[in-house]
Structure 1
Amino acid sequence: MKINGVNGAKLNPYQNQIQKQEQAKSTQQKQDQIEISNAAKQLQEGKGIAQARKEKVEHLKQQVQNNEYDVNPQKTAEKMIDFWTNKRV
């Protein structure tokens, strides 16, 4: 009686199928890409907004220092009431 050794290639009959599936996945995978427009890049940098805000703050500081800043109590009260009653404008 002759007994042949176990053939390593046929040890797991599903191995070939698994390898084929892995190869198919690796060839089909695509990389995600993103493109950001120039306008979006400028918005992300926020230089224009920051500059305008800085100028406004400086203007208000000068008005306060020169005693030229006038507070409108009616408008302030309205804004406070809107805030506390959740009427965001």
Structure 2
Amino acid sequence: MVRDELQAASDELREAAELVDEETQKRLHEQSEQLAALATRDEDPDHGRLDRHMNVLHELAGQLDGDAEELVRSARESVKEYRKTVPGV
């Protein structure tokens, strides 16, 4: 099962990584890889893990501008939308 919102977030982060400096690229790729793994693993990710990703994406978006910023903000929104479907707190 693929969690579409998480896969979409991963894809957007990869796209954003093409628009930024090398250091930020590494951070975006790391987040992208982690979200892609969460999108396809057997167990659902928990709220805490998703919240940590959302915090990192918020921080990254604050350091960017233009298209890269918009892509990271959109990726964060995708994670947020998926998180609404996770049972629990």
TM-score, length of structure 1 as denominator length: 0.23
Bigger radius of gyration, 1 or 2?
1
